[in-house]
Structures are given as C-alpha cells and as structure tokens.
Structure 1
Amino acid sequence: MRGFRWPPPPDGGPRTWGPGPGAPRTGRPALPEPDTELVATPHGVRLERLVTGAGDPVTVFAHGLGNGIATTRPFGSGVTGRKVFFQFRGHGRSDAPPGTWSYADLARDVRAIADLSGATRAFGASLGAGALCRLLSQSPERFERLVFFLPAVLDRPRGEVARQRLTALLDAVESGDASAVAEAVSVELPAAIRNTPAGWAYLRQRLDQLLRDGLAPGLASLPEQVALPDAAVLSAVAAPALVIACAGDDLHPVEVAEQLAAALPQATLHVYDRPNILWTERADLRERISGFLNG
C-alpha cells in the first residue's frame, strides 16, 4: 500500500499492476448535492437548510466541525419522518457573524432550526453533539429522543492532538491550497481507503465544499472551548438517548462518550472496537441510529 498523494490519478483509481478492470474509475460522489435554502432565524443568523422525507416525527441533524449537510445526510437514511439538515454558522452558505463564537451560539443555531421545523428528535455529531448538550442544559425537555455520535467535548477542553488537527484543517482551508486541504482531510480516511476510488470520491466531495464555501475564522477558537460548565446539568434530561463512540479515535475519546452516557439518566452507550466506523461499520451504524430513533 503506497502513501496518500494528491491530485488523484486522471481516472480516479489507484495505480495497480497486472490484469484488472480497464474501464475508467472516476471515484466521483454517487449523488449530486441537493438544492438547499437559506432560512432566517430569531437570533439574526441565516442558516443553510435541507429538508428531506415527509410527515412526522421530525428529526434535526447537527454536523461536526468542518463538515456539513453532505456528511450528515447518511445518518438519516433509515430514519422515518422529515429530516432536517443544516449548516452551523461559518459553514457552507450559512452566515458568519463577526466576533468569537461559543457553544452557546451553536446551541442557538440548533434550537432555531429545530423550532422552525417542529423537530422532536435530534442527532448531533462531534461538534453538533456538544451544541446539542449545551441546548439541553438550558432546555432539558426540548426533545423526545436523542442520538450523540462521537461526542468530542463536554466540560473539559479537547486534547492537544484534536486541537492540532482541527487547527490544521482551518489553516489549510484559509490558505485556499487544494493540496494542503486534501492532506488535512485525508487523515479522516482509513489507510486502506486512501488512494482508492472511494477515497478519491470522499476527498473530491469534501474539497469541493470546503474550497467553495470555506470555513469562517470564528470557528478557530472552538477547539479550545468546553460545551458545558458542568456535565452534571444533563441529569435533568429525561429523554431516551443513544451515545455512540469508537475505540482509538483521537478526536473523539471514548471517555467523553462514557461521561455523557453517565450524565444522561436514560442513555444507552455503544462503543465500537475500532475507529473509522463510517467506513467499516456503515450499515450497522445506520441501522442502529434509525432503529433507536424510529423506536
């Protein structure tokens, strides 16, 4: 297995030897990005939103830092009812108000989208999980069911490895250098996936979005912040919750997920035994999330 390189081969596939398929392999994303809308919120920040599905219940999906609607949509593939995806401030086409942002600001974004759509269920990934926790600390009764995927931070700041990786991504996007962005994003891929059509497809999709929309400077201080002053405030949340973690993930330590599950009275914790579960456990992950939310 050779190391990662950028740009990809012209046909989108890895260099191989001997007999094999001869057709071009583009490695392009299977689905085009859907049309989204900008919605006004009560706190004055316009947020990019996508609504799919139909009927009730309604689930809001909150993404991770540097990600967005495209990377969050797969989590809702088996979820019934309407699904509301959005971009936090500073991501995609959403507004980037001046000043330093906090998890309280991100919680306002989640609350606004949830209230505007009548959402009764919520999913939060990484940064989105932290924002969801902050919202629940203020309104513990807001949702009927909750999923926290790879929570990264509660009442203690992120570790140095996480801060370095997130800072590297923000710096690369600000530089506008596609190769630098690709290097920063490539660490999200398992080694076995890099330099494969699937790996190129993922990188192309992420680069298209990041280089087109950028990431706002206001996000830079978030890796050093905490989501809550004290995780114990979550003891007032009565809704059933599913907390998902995986071993060996430097950005999302299992200890954070364990602390969150212990703080939530009606939480179930599931820990996968290896990282990169979006690539290695995708089917099981989708079934686990949809089964819990639909239940």
Structure 2
Amino acid sequence: MGPQTELVDTPHGVRLEQLVTGAGDPVTVFAHGLAGDIAGTRPLGSAVTGRRVFFHQRGHGRSAAPPGPWTFADLADDLAAVADRSGATRAVGVSMGAASVCRLLARRPDRFARVVLFLPAPLDGTRPAAAQDRLARLRAALESGELRAALEPEVPRDLRDTAAGLAYLRQREQQLRRDGLAPQLDTLWQAPAVPDEAALRAFGGRALVLGCAGDEVHPAAVAERVAARLGAELHVYDQPDVLWTRRRDLRERISTFLNAH
C-alpha cells in the first residue's frame, strides 16, 4: 500500500488534506490548480529530492470548504500553514496554486528559497475568457452528469482514446463527482491575487516560471509578467499540453532546478 493522505489542522481553523512522500530534507510543498487535485501534481515532483508535501486546497478533495467569499490571502494562509508545519523551504505552484505562492511571497518574501510556478494564473484579478468558460463548463457538466465531454479538452485529441488518456479521464471524472466544485471558488477573482505586484521584487530566493505558447487558459504573457516580477528564470514551451507531450522534459526542468545546490 502506498502513502495515505491525512487531514491536518491549521492555525486558522481550516482542515486540509495532505499527502507526504519521500524522506529527508529539503521539503517541497506542492499547490495544485483550480479543480485540480493531489494526483495531478504528483508527476511534477517525481524526481524532486527530499520530502514532498502535496495538499488539497480548500474546497478540493477532503479539505474543508469554509463559508465564502474566499480570497488569495486565504489560499496563502492555507499554503503557509502546510509549509510551516512541514518545514518546507521550496514550493511548486500550478495555475491557481502558483498565484497563491505569489501571494504568500508578497507577504513573506523570505518564506521559500526556491519556487517553481507552472502555468501561473494572473495576479491582477483578471481571468482569461477561456479560464472562465472552463469553470462554467465543468459546473454545467456536474449538474447534467455529462462530465466526460467537459473533461476531454484536458487531453490532446489524439490521446483521448489511448490507455493513458482514458485512465486520466476516468480518474478526473471520479474525482469531480466525488468532490464537486465549491461555489466559493468563483469569489477568488473578485480581487487581485497580489494587490501590489511590486512586492514580489523583494523575493530573495530563486524562481523558475514555466509557461506554454498557445494555452488559452494560461496565456504565456502571464508567465512572462510573473517571471519579470520575481526576477525568475523563464521557459515557455512552444505548444500547450506539455504534461502530455513533454512530461519528461517538464519533470527534468523542475527537478534540476529544485535539486541544485
């Protein structure tokens, strides 16, 4: 039997589900994106040394969904609680999770020595139309029960009927049917994720930002803007869907960056 998730208490009273893999130091915390889960972030850390702490953000998995509205300050509180509890010195954030990492760094610029932001969400409170449409599509599919068609855009067309593609769609469908989508998630973008992006210039660690050209939900221009704010290394893939088409390269970039001394 593999590692099991556990529920942990935070100082601010929100119970969060986490999974710890690996052993020793350093410790890296992983924050997934909107409607994502622990399973979706685990491949990003497969070659990262030390302990890896994956957690479900509020409203996902078995993590609590306190009354809204929610802000990115709330997500930063959750992230800080998990990171402080585990002694994490590194962080990996995906989309919404990347924005929560940035909100925490704006508040505590010395909190992490190294961070990786994959497909970061905008920090200024705006959302691409494709991102809004994705959430609306998933909500409608949950209500109608027709989830498979709504999830298929997450898999490249030529891979949807492969064993890997079908397994992914099955896992995602089961996850969303089990966990649903907390209505409070819609309130997150009522205010900027980072009210003063200039505060990110105080970050004294090292950052790697990874974007993809042609990703309508996560425009490459957002990755470029976030990288500039952090003084980060930036790599933009020349096509979207790199979790499917460039997974080995993606994992190597993340692990090489985080494992370096």
Which range moved further: 193-202 or 223-232? 223-232
Q: CA deviation at 1:154?
A: 1.2
Q: Secondary structure at the match of 1:221?
A: helix
**Which residue type is aligned with residue 268 of structure 1?**
E
Aligned partner of 2:137 in structure 1 is 168
Q: CA deviation at 1:288?
A: 0.5
Answer yes or no: is the 8 Å Cα contact 1:145–1:241 preserved in 2: yes
Which range moved further: 78-87 or 223-232? 223-232
Aligned partner of 2:160 in structure 1 is 194
Give, in whole Å, the separation in 1 of the partners of 2:119 and 2:128.
15
Q: Secondary structure at the match of 1:140?
A: coil
Q: Secondary structure at the match of 1:192?
A: helix
Give, in whole Å, the separation in 1 of the partners of 2:201 and 2:117.
16
Percent identity between matched residues is 61
Aligned residues: 260
Aligned partner of 1:23 in structure 2 is none
Aligned partner of 1:185 in structure 2 is 151
**Displaced runs of 4 or more, over 4 A:** none
RMSD (Å), alpha carbons: 1.4
> What is the aligned counterpart of 1:147 among 84, 108, 116?
116
**Which residue type is aligned with residue 230 of structure 2?**
L
Q: Extract unaligned runs of 5+ from structure 2.
A: none
Q: Extract unaligned runs of 5+ from structure 1.
A: 1-31
> What is the aligned counterpart of 2:222 among 256, 260, 266?
256
Answer yes or no: is the 8 Å Cα contact 1:150–1:252 preserved in 2: yes
**Which residue type is aligned with residue 41 of structure 2?**
T
**Which residue type is aligned with residue 203 of structure 1?**
L
1:181-260 matched pairs, under 5 angstroms: 181-223=147-189, 225-260=191-226
Q: Is 2:242 the counterpart of 1:277?
A: yes
Q: Secondary structure at the match of 2:20?
A: strand
Which structure is higher in helix share? Answer: 2
Q: CA deviation at 1:229?
A: 1.5
1:176–1:86 distance in 2 versus 1, CA, 3 Å: farther
> What is the aligned counterpart of 1:67 among 32, 36, 39?
36
Answer yes or no: is the 8 Å Cα contact 2:209–2:234 preserved in 1: yes
Give, in whole Å, the separation in 2 of the partners of 1:136 and 1:63.
17
Answer yes or no: is the 8 Å Cα contact 2:68–2:187 preserved in 1: no
Give, in whole Å, the separation in 2 of the partners of 1:223 and 1:190.
28
Answer yes or no: is the 8 Å Cα contact 2:3–2:20 preserved in 1: no
Aligned partner of 2:89 in structure 1 is 120
Give, in whole Å, the separation in 1 of the partners of 2:96 and 2:149.
21
With the length of structure 1 as denominator, give the TM-score of the two structures: 0.85
Q: CA deviation at 1:224?
A: 5.2
Q: Secondary structure at the match of 1:51?
A: strand
Answer yes or no: is the 8 Å Cα contact 1:162–1:223 preserved in 2: no
With the length of structure 2 as denominator, give the TM-score of the two structures: 0.96
